[in-house]
Amino acid sequence: MIEFLQEQAQDLTSELEDAYAYIEYLQEHPMPPDVLNKPVGNEEDQEEIEGASDHDSEHEDSEPET
């Protein structure tokens, strides 16, 4: 049991060291402003999501009231 926990602690320490190294890399190599302002998803996905919500609201109106 103790060996298992020690192994987990070593794995987490390794992941933490990798995270610190990545943070240090990002601090040394900042991203240009145009990359930071670029949207992550494309516009077509956003339109589809908007269309789905509009579609849902259309069906709410068509349901008969009891």
With H, G, I as helix, E, B as strand and everything else as coil, classify residue 63. Answer: coil
Predicted TM-score (pTM) above 0.75 = no
Sequential DSSP letters for 32-59 = PHHHHTS-SS-HHHHHHHHHHHHHHHHH
Q: pLDDT tens track of the chain, all 66 residues?
A: 999 999 999 999 999 999 999 999 999 988 777 766 666 665 555 555 555 554 455 455 555 555
Cβ partners under 8 Å of residue 54, min gap 6: none
With H, G, I as helix, E, B as strand and everything else as coil, classify residue 30. Answer: coil
